[in-house]
């Protein structure tokens, strides 16, 4: 089994990568540290946005469930008919 490295850097090409948000620094002991600050910030923003959308959806579903249990839920019949027609047409 052999490992083929792509590019001209060979085994050490990883040390030469220039990636946005990724930086390396050397400590006095010779240990290398890698910082992913911008990547982590972006991931955190995406995660918090997803959590916000999920929270809104959960509230909406809870409100609909309460209306159904109380017998006061009245769906938009035109929207239901359109959705049902699209489903039947797509399944053929």
For 22, residues 6+ apart whose C-beta sits below 8 A from its C-beta are 34, 35, 36, 39
According to DSSP, the residues that pair with 23 across neighbouring strands are 35
Say what the pLDDT of residue 42 is.
86
Higher pLDDT, 58 or 13: 58
Higher pLDDT, 22 or 62: 62
Ranges 4-8, 44-48, 84-88, most confident: 84-88
> Which tens digit of pLDDT belongs to each residue from 23-81?
555 555 566 666 778 888 888 888 989 989 999 999 999 999 999 999 999 999 999 99
Does the model's pTM come out above 0.75?
no
**How far is residue 26 CA from its own chain's centroid?**
32
């Amino acid at each position: 089994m052999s490992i083929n490295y792509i590019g001209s850097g060979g085994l050490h090409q990883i040390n030469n990568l220039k990636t946005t948000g990724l930086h390396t620094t050397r400590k006095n002991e010779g240990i290398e540290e890698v910082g992913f600050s911008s990547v982590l910030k972006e991931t955190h923003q995406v995660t918090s946005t997803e959590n916000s959308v999920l929270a809104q959806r959960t509230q909406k579903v809870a409100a609909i469930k309460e209306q159904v249990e109380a017998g006061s839920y009245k769906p938009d019949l035109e929207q239901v008919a359109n959705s049902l027609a699209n489903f039947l047409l797509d399944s053929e």
